[in-house]
C-alpha cells in the first residue's frame, strides 16, 4: 500500500533565521568573546587584527550562504498512517546557534588564513612588479641580473686552432678581378661577382698564388705578362686592409693555378708555410681559410675525407691527385690555403661539388706537391714547362671502340721527336683499307697506364729531360723503349 503524506498542520509554527547582516554581526561578536557552549574542548577564537577589514567580504558571503538555506520549520506536523496518529515530528530540528556558529567559525577561520596569505602574496608581487615597471630605487641591478659564469681558458685543441687562424690570416689575401665591378641591386646590397676569391703569399718578393678561374675573366682577354689583372687586398699587422695592383706573372689553365705579383712592403708580406701533401692520411684534421662572399677572413674546420681524387675544375680541365675534404669551401674560398693541424699549407682550395649550390657538399684542393711544381715555373718562365712525349693519342672512348681495353693508343708520331727516333709506330691503314693499330703504351717505368688521361697523370711526376722506360704492346708482342722526355707542346 502506498503511504500518504499529509500536509503540515495549520497550527505549525515557523521561525526564520536571522538576516545575513544580523548573522554576520553575531559571528563577529562570537569570534571576539564567545566560547562555544556544548564544546568545551574548542579553544576561544579571536579575530585577526585585520580580519574586519580584509575578510569582511568573506564573512558576508558565508552569511549569505547560510541565509539561503531553507526556513527551519519548528512545529509538529501531525500525520496519520494506517488510521493511527503518528507522533509530532519536526521536518528539520533547530540547531543550536552557538554550535552552528562554532563550526562555521572554524571553516571561516581557515578561509581567512588562506585568503590572507593569497592577499599578502599578491600584494608583495604587485609591489615588486610595479617597482620594476616604475623604476623604483629600492630595486637594485644586482637583484635582476643573472649570475654570469666565467668563460675560462680554451681547451688545448681550440686554442691551437685559434692560434693557427690568427697566425696564417696574414698570409691569406683577397683577390678581386680587375675587369669586374660590384653590382648594386634594388635592395641596396652589393653583389660580389664570381671573380672574387682568395690567394696566398708565396714569398717575400710579392708573389701571390691563386686559382686560374679566380682571374679567369681577365685572362680570357689574353693579357700580357706584367699587366694588371686583379686587385689584391692584404691584411696589415694593425688590422687594416691595404690594396695593391696584382700584375700577371703566369697562369696554367691545366692545373687551375695562376701567379700574380704585388709591389707591397716586405714587412707586410707573410709567406705561407708549405707542407707535404704526399704524407696525408684520410681522417686527419684540416683547416680552410679564405675570404668568401667578400667578407673578412673566414675559417672552416674539417677532416680529409679522400685522396688522389680527380678534380673537375671550373676552368674545364681535370686535375689528378686532388685532396677531398668535408671542410666548407665556398666560392670565395677558391685560391685560399688548406692547412694541416701544424699550420702547413697542404693544398689550394679550388672547387666544391654539390647539388644544392651550397658548401654542404664535398670540397677539393689542389695538392701542395702539384703547386710546388707549377708555381716556381710560372714565376721563372711565365708558363709551365710540362714533360711529355709530344705524341697524339687516341681518346679513351675511341680506343675502347678499337678494342683497346688497357693502355694509351698512339695515333700519330711527329717526325724529329724522341719517340720517332725510338721507333714508336702510329696507327694507320693497311693495303685493304683496314685499320692497323699502332703501339699501345701500357706502363711508364713500371707504373701501369690504363689510358690517355692516366698516361698524362703519370708524366706529371717527371721533368723535361728525364729518361723513362716505356712498356709498349705491339700486336702480340711486348717491347721496352727507353727515351728522354721533351717539353710538351700544350
C-beta of residue 277 within 8 angstroms of C-beta of residue 347 = yes
| Residues in the chain, overall count | 490
| 173: nearest Cα among 235, 229, 231, 215 | 235
Q: E strand or H helix at 203, and its extent?
A: none
Residue 213 among the catalytic residues: yes
Neighbours of 167 (CB within 10 A): 13
| 325: nearest Cα among 316, 317, 337 | 337
Q: Which residue has the cell 674546420?
A: 301
Residue 297 among the catalytic residues: no
Query: DSSP secondary-structure letter at 411?
Result: E
C-beta of residue 455 within 8 angstroms of C-beta of residue 420 = no
Residue 334 among the catalytic residues: yes
C-beta of residue 341 within 8 angstroms of C-beta of residue 327 = no
Which candidate in 30, 213, 297, 344 is catalytic? 213
Tell me the C-alpha distance between 77 and 85, whole Å: 11
C-beta of residue 310 within 8 angstroms of C-beta of residue 319 = yes
**Which grid cell sits at 37?**
557552549
C-beta of residue 59 within 8 angstroms of C-beta of residue 48 = no
C-beta of residue 346 within 8 angstroms of C-beta of residue 275 = yes
Which candidate in 101, 102, 198, 334 is catalytic? 334
Tell me the C-alpha distance between 26 and 39, whole Å: 18
b/e per residue, 133-158, with b = 16+ CB within 10 A? eeeeeeeeeeeeeeeeeeeeeeeeee
Neighbours of 251 (CB within 10 A): 27
Residue 397's contacts (CB-CB under 8 Å, 6 or more residues apart) are none
* Whole-number Cα distances in Å, 384 to 178, 252, 375, 434: 24, 7, 8, 40
Q: E strand or H helix at 480, and its extent?
A: strand 477-484
C-beta of residue 360 within 8 angstroms of C-beta of residue 225 = no
Tell me the C-alpha distance between 490 and 487, whole Å: 9
Residue 96's contacts (CB-CB under 8 Å, 6 or more residues apart) are 37, 38
Which candidate in 177, 252, 256, 460 is catalytic? 256
* Whole-number Cα distances in Å, 208 to 248, 270, 271, 343: 10, 11, 9, 18
Positions marked active-site: 213, 256, 334
Amino acid at each position: 500500500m502506498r503511504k500518504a503524506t499529509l500536509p503540515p498542520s495549520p497550527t505549525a509554527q515557523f521561525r526564520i533565521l536571522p538576516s545575513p547582516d544580523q548573522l554576520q554581526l553575531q559571528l563577529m561578536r562570537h569570534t571576539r568573546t564567545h566560547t562555544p557552549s556544548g564544546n568545551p574542548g574548542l579553544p576561544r577564537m579571536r579575530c585577526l587584527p585585520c580580519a574586519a577589514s580584509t575578510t569582511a567580504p568573506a564573512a558576508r558571503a558565508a552569511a549569505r550562504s547560510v541565509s539561503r538555506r531553507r526556513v527551519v520549520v519548528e512545529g509538529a506536523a501531525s500525520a496519520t498512517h494506517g488510521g493511527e496518529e503518528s507522533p509530532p515530528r519536526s521536518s528539520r530540528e533547530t540547531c543550536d546557534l552557538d554550535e552552528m556558529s562554532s563550526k562555521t567559525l572554524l571553516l571561516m577561520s581557515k578561509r581567512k588564513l588562506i585568503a590572507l596569505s593569497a592577499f599578502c602574496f599578491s600584494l608583495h608581487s604587485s609591489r615588486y612588479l610595479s617597482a620594476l615597471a616604475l623604476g623604483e630605487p629600492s630595486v637594485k641591478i644586482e637583484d635582476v641580473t643573472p649570475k654570469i659564469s666565467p668563460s675560462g681558458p680554451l681547451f688545448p685543441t681550440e686554442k691551437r686552432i685559434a692560434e693557427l687562424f690568427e697566425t696564417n690570416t696574414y698570409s691569406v689575401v683577397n683577390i678581386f678581378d680587375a675587369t669586374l665591378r660590384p653590382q648594386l641591386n634594388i635592395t641596396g646590397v652589393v653583389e660580389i661577382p664570381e671573380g672574387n676569391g682568395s690567394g696566398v703569399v708565396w714569398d717575400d718578393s710579392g708573389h701571390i698564388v691563386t686559382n686560374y678561374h679566380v682571374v679567369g675573366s681577365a685572362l680570357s682577354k689574353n693579357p700580357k705578362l706584367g699587366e694588371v689583372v686583379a686587385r689584391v687586398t692584404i691584411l696589415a699587422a694593425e688590422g687594416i686592409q691595404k690594396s695593391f695592383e696584382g700584375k700577371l706573372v703566369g697562369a696554367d689553365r691545366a692545373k687551375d693555378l695562376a701567379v700574380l705579383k704585388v709591389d707591397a712592403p716586405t714587412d707586410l708580406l707573410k709567406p705561407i708555410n708549405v707542407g707535404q701533401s704526399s704524407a696525408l692520411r684520410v681522417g686527419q684534421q684540416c683547416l680552410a681559410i679564405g675570404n668568401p662572399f667578400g667578407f673578412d677572413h673566414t675559417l672552416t674546420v674539417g677532416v680529409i675525407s679522400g685522396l688522389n681524387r680527380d678534380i673537375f675544375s671550373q676552368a674545364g680541365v681535370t686535375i689528378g691527385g686532388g685532396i677531398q675534404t668535408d671542410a666548407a669551401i665556398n666560392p670565395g674560398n677558391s685560391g685560399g690555403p688548406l692547412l694541416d693541424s701544424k699550420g702547413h699549407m697542404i693544398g689550394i682550395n679550388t672547387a666544391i661539388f654539390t647539388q644544392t649550390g651550397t658548401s654542404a657538399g664535398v670540397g677539393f684542393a689542389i695538392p701542395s706537391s702539384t703547386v710546388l711544381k707549377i708555381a716556381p715555373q710560372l714565376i721563372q718562365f711565365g708558363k709551365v714547362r710540362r714533360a711529355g712525349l709530344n705524341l697524339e693519342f687516341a681518346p679513351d672512348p675511341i680506343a675502347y671502340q678499337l678494342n683497346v681495353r688497357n693502355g694509351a693508343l698512339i695515333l700519330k708520331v711527329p717526325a724529329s721527336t724522341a719517340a720517332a727516333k725510338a721507333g714508336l709506330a702510329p696507327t694507320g691503314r693497311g693495303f685493304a683499307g683496314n685499320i692497323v693499330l699502332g703501339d699501345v703504351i701500357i706502363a711508364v717505368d713500371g707504373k701501369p697506364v690504363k689510358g690517355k688521361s692516366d698516361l698524362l697523370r703519370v708524366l706529371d711526376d717527371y721533368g723535361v729531360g728525364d729518361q723513362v722506360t716505356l712498356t709498349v704492346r705491339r700486336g702480340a708482342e711486348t717491347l721496352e723503349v727507353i727515351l728522354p722526355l721533351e717539353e710538351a707542346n700544350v
